[in-house]
A = this chain, B = another copy of it.
């Protein structure tokens, strides 16, 4: 397999845009990524696009906005991991030598969707749906279990939200550029005990795009390409086979595969962008990614290691909690953020001397207690 580089990244604004189409948001991200890369639109040979809600030929609709046609287009969906699936798709196309230059797009217009953000009625035979196993219900149960097992407190969960909102306040593209105190997080509306509103990611519209190419091509456009050194995507087993709801066996497995592929260890990672759909979730992911020993995520959080300025900043962008979570956009957006840090261009939220960064995403709605049943990890390096 060939080495693959990222040579362009772009994001739309993130927020609530009831008057903008998904195609328009996607087009904004693609235009920015093209400009960033320096390549001509006609040089794109393959496109993968992810959208979760109301998807209908996403790549075709987005690329029409910028006048790109006559190439292979694949639209993917994998819940919150959709964007990561698109990125991996383009990575494989180039690594395997099918094409030299491709674009991965993630986009979501949740505000204009008749489905997103509403309580989706269960499909026939969807037992977990009938039992009321919505995302907040699931993470509320997990939070209670974390508190019972690891000594976590609701203040700890609030601390994750405070941290990520602080990070987001430094990011011009974040949906919320506002800091909150622990008290404000705890006193916000109760969603699913002990999860309060400010511990939940918002409903967001937005898009992100990344241009990938072979290393040969990359060297024509830049002297410092960002390399993709690991790509993994794996769906786990089903919820009721899961013994411990605080552990994600597929998350750990995917992380081990990624570290092995990258030839590095968790201690080598300088920053992480990850799926923090609910504040308490971030702590569990520290453990999946082996940033700390099992059961010690809360200690890592309390130590400040995962804040900007700490040993391994997690979600310096503001994460899903502050930047916003347009589902299928997030898995591409996390790659954009990691690339900015590796280039030294992340502004006020820059991780100093970042050499290796990890973009993580989880997705899955149909599988109950194995929260985040599809895991994807990409490791990038300069």
Contacts and interface: CB of A to CB of B under 8 A. Distances in A.
A23 B125 contact: yes
A61 B74 CA distance: 21
A218 interface: no
B21 A69 contact: no
A146 interface: no
B78 A77 contact: no
B89 A234 contact: no
Given A124-B112, A366-B60, A76 B73 contact: no
22 contacts: A19-B124, A22-B123, A23-B125, A23-B126, A56-B77, A56-B120, A57-B77, A57-B78, A57-B79, A57-B364, A57-B366, A57-B367, A57-B374, A60-B235, A60-B367, A69-B235, A73-B78, A73-B235, A74-B85, A75-B77, A92-B96, A96-B96
Nearest to A249: B70
A58 B238 CA distance: 14
Contacts of A235: 59-60, 69-73
Interface of A: 19-24, 52, 55-61, 64, 69-79, 85, 89, 92, 96, 98, 112, 120, 123-126, 233-238, 241, 250, 363-367, 373-374
Considering residues A60, A98, A364, which has the most beta carbons from chain B within 10 angstroms of its beta carbon?
Answer: A60
7 A-B pairs closest in CB distance: A69-B237, A21-B124, A73-B235, A96-B96, A75-B77, A61-B366, A21-B125
B77 A58 contact: yes
Given A64-B367, A70-B234, 18 more contacts: A20-B124, A21-B123, A21-B124, A21-B125, A24-B125, A52-B56, A56-B120, A56-B365, A56-B366, A57-B78, A57-B365, A57-B366, A60-B235, A60-B366, A60-B374, A64-B366, A69-B241, A75-B77
